[in-house]
């Protein structure tokens, strides 16, 4: 071994410990940086040759330490689990938010809710049954029907507006997904070039992973690693990112909530039009667009249609104050009747057909009015149907909220596990900092010791008696 080999080993130790201190400083500086993964300088002993040459041998002590490689601390299993759980949480959040807005559209329970408006209308028919000769009692029937019709239209309009807003949000989300996928493809190319050139790309990988987590939340993306640090990003079996290229997605389907069954909203590949099975927020929004909101709009249309059929069915059997046969009270006629087009067809209180006696005999009979008032007690009537719908909505909203709560706990646990591996711990970094500092000081003392030995060897060898 050369006399100066110890000085070389000390020099590599100084460089390695300084590099480790630099990495620790980078970790501390980014302790609050979103998406940052802590890094570690990998130190490896620089050993001597294991196969001696013909005319030389090695003592096997080694040549110092090498710290060229700086790695990111990540757990691939937790990363993949995090993508799945984040997507599930985002899907349930979209569904839960939709149920909350639907409950607001019905305004139940409350003074302006449809249930209360129905009760006011039936109370009006009861008052008419008690005072059929009073034009005021007849007039308030028309007013309360107008109020009920307005409440049904308002709820249906709220649901329609929610559907339109959700579809617009889906379009914005897909546009953002396309932009993020393009950026991930560009980062793939940059990372591949850096690693092939021997340049660290840890910060670029952190940026890419942050975008992949965003894609997992938005559309349920998963990752498939490849060579040279490249990853493919998959959505429902389709590669939205393959190496340095990305595939654009688009939103297809109906723009009208009433034609969803004919052309349901969906996500497809731009150009080719292949159907994509998304996850995350996009999956939740598509569920809302295809099933949840159209389902409640259809049920509300059924309430309006049943209301018109029940009232018209009795009203047309009665007679007004002049003894004329009653006509349809709610329309349009001919149908179909929906919550959006429901209208009150009579504006003259005298035309309310409250009497069961006729025709052609002016009277103050209230036989039909009593039958109309009794409709509220029917176990198969409009009130019962509407109550079942509201109860079902409450149950579905409660289940959705409970599922979201459970999923949020699971997601938080996975995120905490990821953070425990990849996150920066100040206490740990302080310990590493002191360790590297002492090692640097020791390497410096080694240089001093070797320098003193060389001084003796060079300047004092051969001198005697001094």
pLDDT tens for 322-340 read 888 888 999 888 879 999 9
- Smallest CA-to-CA distance from 319 within 284, 350, 273, 275 is with 350
| Token pair recorded at residue 321 | 């104050």
Angle of the 114-130 helix axis to the 367-374 helix axis, nearest 10: 160
User: How confident is the model over 112-137, as pLDDT tens digits?
Assistant: 889 999 999 999 989 988 888 888 88
pLDDT of residue 28: 92
- 418 in Cβ contact with 75 (< 8 Å): yes
User: How confident is the model over 345-383, as pLDDT tens digits?
Assistant: 988 888 888 888 878 777 788 888 899 998 888 888 899
Whether the predicted pLDDT of 306 surpasses 80: yes
> Distance (Å, rounded) from C-alpha 186 to C-alpha 192?
10
> Distance (Å, rounded) from C-alpha 345 to C-alpha 365?
22
pLDDT of residue 322: 84
| Token pair recorded at residue 432 | 């590493």
> Distance (Å, rounded) from C-alpha 132 to C-alpha 127?
8
Which of these ranges, 172-181, 241-250, 361-370, has the smallest mean pLDDT? Answer: 361-370
- 118 in Cβ contact with 382 (< 8 Å): yes
Task: Tally the residues of the chain.
Answer: 466
Q: CB-based contacts of 449: which residues, under 8 Å, 6+ apart?
A: none
Whether the predicted pLDDT of 157 surpasses 60: yes
Residue 62 burial (CB count, 10 A)? 14
Q: In what order do the strands lie in the sheet with 266-269?
A: 249-252, 266-269, 275-276
- Tell me the whole-structure pTM to 2 decimals: 0.86
Q: Name the region of 445 (left: φ>0; alpha: ψ -120 to 50; beta: rest).
A: alpha
- 95 in Cβ contact with 43 (< 8 Å): no
- The mean pLDDT of 389-417, rounded to a whole number, is 94
> Distance (Å, rounded) from C-alpha 24 to C-alpha 442?
19
User: How confident is the model over 27-75, as pLDDT tens digits?
Assistant: 899 888 888 889 898 888 877 555 555 555 555 677 788 888 888 888 8
pLDDT class for 210, splitting at 50, 70, 90? very high
**Structural domain boundaries in the chain:** 5-73+423-459, 81-199+278-413
- Work out the percent of the chain whose per-residue pLDDT is above 90: 52
pLDDT of residue 51: 59
pLDDT of residue 266: 93
Kind and range of the H or E run holding 269:
strand 266-269
Which of these ranges, 6-10, 259-263, 427-431, 444-448, has the smallest mean pLDDT? Answer: 6-10
| Token pair recorded at residue 78 | 């937790």
- The mean pLDDT of 145-164, rounded to a whole number, is 94
**Separation of CA 303 from chain center:** 32
pLDDT class for 3, splitting at 50, 70, 90? low
pLDDT of residue 285: 96
CA pseudo-torsion sign 361, 366, 372, 374 = negative
User: How confident is the model over 64-95, as pLDDT tens digits?
Assistant: 888 888 888 888 888 889 999 999 999 999 99
For the chain, the three-class secondary structure string (H helix, E strand, C coil) is CCCCHHHHHHHHHHHHHHHHHHHHHHHHHCCCCCCCCCEEEEEEECCCCCCCCCCCCCCCCCCCEEEEEEEECCCHHHHHHHHHHHHHHHHHHHHHHHHHHHHHHHCCCCCCCHHHHHHHHHHHHHHHHHCCCCHHHHHHHHHHHHHHHHHHHHHHHHHHHHHHHHHHHHHHHHHHHHHHHHHHHHHHHHHHHHHHCCCCCHHHHHHHHHHHHHHHHHHCCEEEECHHHCEEEEECCEEEEECCEECCEEEECCCCHHHCCCCCCEEEECCCCCEECCCHHHHHHHHHHHHHHHHHHHHHHHHHHHHHHHHHHHHCCCECCCCCECCCCEECCCCCCCCCCCEECCCCHHHCCCECCCCCCCCCCCHHHHHHHHHHHCCCCHHHHHHHHHHHHHHHHHHHHHHHHHHHHHHHHHHHHHHHHHCCCHHHHHHHHHHHHHHHHHHHHHHHHHHHHHHHHHHCCCCCCC
Rg of the chain over all Cα atoms, to the nearest angstrom: 39
Kind and range of the H or E run holding 116:
helix 114-130
- The mean pLDDT of 210-223, rounded to a whole number, is 94
Q: CB-based contacts of 453: which residues, under 8 Å, 6+ apart?
A: none
- The mean pLDDT of 406-427, rounded to a whole number, is 90
């Amino acid at each position: 071994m050369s006399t100066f080999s110890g000085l070389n080993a000390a020099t590599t130790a100084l460089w390695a410990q300084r590099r480790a201190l630099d990495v620790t400083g980078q970790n501390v500086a980014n302790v609050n940086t979103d998406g940052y993964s802590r890094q570690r300088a990998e130190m490896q002993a620089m050993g001597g040759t294991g196969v001696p040459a013909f005319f030389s041998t090695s003592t096997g002590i080694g040549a110092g330490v090498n710290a060229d490689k700086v790695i990111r601390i990540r757990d691939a299993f937790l990363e993949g689990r995090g993508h799945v759980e984040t997507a599930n949480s985002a899907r349930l959040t979209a569904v839960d938010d939709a149920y909350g807005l639907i409950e607001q559209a019905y305004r139940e329970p409350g003074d302006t809710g449809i249930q209360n408006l129905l009760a006011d209308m039936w109370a009006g028919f009861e008052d008419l049954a008690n005072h059929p000769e009073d034009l005021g009692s007849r007039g308030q029937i028309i007013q309360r029907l107008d109020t009920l019709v307005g409440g049904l239209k308002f709820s249906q309009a709220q649901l329609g507006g929610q559907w339109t807003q959700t579809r617009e949000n889906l379009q914005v989300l897909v546009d953002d997904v396309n932009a993020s996928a393009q950026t991930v493809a560009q980062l793939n190319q940059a990372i591949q070039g850096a690693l092939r050139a021997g340049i660290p790309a840890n910060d670029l990988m952190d940026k890419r992973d942050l975008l992949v987590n965003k894609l997992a939340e938005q559309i349920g993306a998963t990752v498939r690693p490849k060579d040279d640090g490249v990853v493919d990003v998959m959505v429902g079996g389709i590669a939205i990112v393959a190496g340095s290229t990305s595939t654009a997605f688009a939103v297809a389907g109906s723009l009208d909530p009433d034609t969803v069954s004919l052309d349901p909203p969906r996500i497809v590949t731009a150009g080719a039009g292949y159907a994509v099975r998304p996850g995350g927020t996009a999956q939740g929004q598509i569920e809302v667009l295809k099933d949840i909101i159209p389902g409640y709009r259809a049920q509300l249309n059924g309430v309006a249609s049943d209301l018109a059929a029940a009232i018209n069915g009795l009203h047309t059997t009665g007679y007004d104050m002049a003894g004329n046969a009653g006509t349809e009270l709610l329309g349009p006629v001919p149908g179909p009747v929906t919550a959006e087009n429901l209208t009150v067809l009579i504006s003259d209180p005298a035309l309310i057909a409250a009497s069961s006696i006729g025709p052609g005999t002016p009277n103050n009979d209230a036989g039909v009015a009593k039958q109309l008032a009794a409709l509220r007690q029917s176990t198969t009537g409009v009130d019962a149907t509407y109550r079942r719908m509201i109860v079902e909505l409450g149950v579905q909203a409660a289940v959705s909220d409970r599922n979201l709560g459970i999923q949020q706990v699971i997601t938080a646990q996975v995120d905490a596990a990821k953070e425990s591996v990849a996150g920066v711990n100040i206490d740990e970094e302080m310990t590493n900092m002191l360790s590297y500092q002492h090692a640097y000081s020791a390497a410096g003392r080694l240089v001093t010791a070797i320098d003193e030995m060389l001084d003796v060897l060079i300047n004092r060898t051969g001198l005697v008696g001094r």
